[in-house]
């Protein structure tokens, strides 16, 4: 899906839709599996200085792999951000201004052919944790559970071997 970002902002139009995670290959590389959907709304607007911007909301659930216990878990995506549209030629100069002030919206290059899927993909990638992990305590309880399970298994093997030994005698 392609939109004219400046036209969207100027006419304060709104586009909304849903992407299956499987449609976003760069995102899938960072996930555990390709299940889930992401709903999005992009609304054209202007800032207090009459500069064009896009308000972007993305929500959904993706599957991440915990880097501690390697199990999967569901991560909610809930993005609500504003992106200021800057002429591509001015982007370098403007980018520094944007980067200096955290209260200012992020800048992206204005484009008459904005690829909506790529934009959503970029924003979701930025929003994901760099080192995905379960919340505190979750992995620990899983790991303790796994240890108990393997102990029980090894004990029952021992008991079974003892029975076998008895039978042989």
Binding site for Zn ion (CB under 5 A): 66, 68-69, 134, 139
Alpha carbon separation from 144 to 65, 66, 72, 139, 151 (Å, rounded): 19, 16, 17, 9, 11
Question: Which is closer to Zn ion, CB of 43 or CB of 69?
Answer: 69
Min. distance of Cβ 148 from Zn ion in angstroms?
Answer: 17
What's the CA gap between 131 and 120, in Å, rounded?
A: 20
CB nearer Zn ion, residue 41 or residue 69: 69
Closest CB to Zn ion among 7 and 68?
A: 68
Query: Percent helix, strand, coil in the chain (nearest 5)?
Result: 40, 30, 25
Nearer to Zn ion, 56 or 66 (CB): 66
Q: Which is nearer to Zn ion, 46 or 68 (CB)?
A: 68
What secondary structure does DSSP assign to 79-135, as a single string? Answer: EEEEEEEE-GGGHHHHHHHHHH-TTSPEEEE--TTEEHHHHHHHHHHHHS-SS--PP
CA–CA gap between residue 52 and residue 48 (Å, rounded): 10
DSSP lists the bridge partners of residue 31 as none
């Amino acid at each position: 899906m392609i939109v004219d970002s400046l036209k969207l902002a100027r006419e304060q139009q709104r586009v909304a839709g849903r992407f299956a995670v499987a449609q976003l290959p760069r995102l899938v590389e960072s996930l555990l599996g390709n299940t889930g959907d992401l709903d999005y709304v992009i609304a054209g607007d202007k800032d207090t200085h009459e500069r064009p911007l896009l308000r972007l909301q993305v929500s959904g659930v993706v599957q991440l792999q915990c880097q501690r216990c390697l199990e999967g878990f569901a991560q909610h995506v809930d993005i609500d951000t504003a992106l200021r549209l800057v002429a591509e030629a001015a982007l370098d100069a403007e980018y520094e201004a944007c980067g200096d002030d955290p209260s200012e919206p992020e800048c992206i290059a204005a484009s008459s052919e904005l690829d909506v899927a790529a934009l959503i993909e970029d924003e979701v990638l930025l929003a994901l944790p760099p080192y995905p992990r379960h919340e505190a305590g979750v992995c620990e309880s899983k790991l303790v559970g796994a240890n108990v399970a393997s102990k029980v298994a090894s004990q029952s093997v021992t008991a079974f071997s003892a029975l076998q030994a008895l039978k042989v005698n």
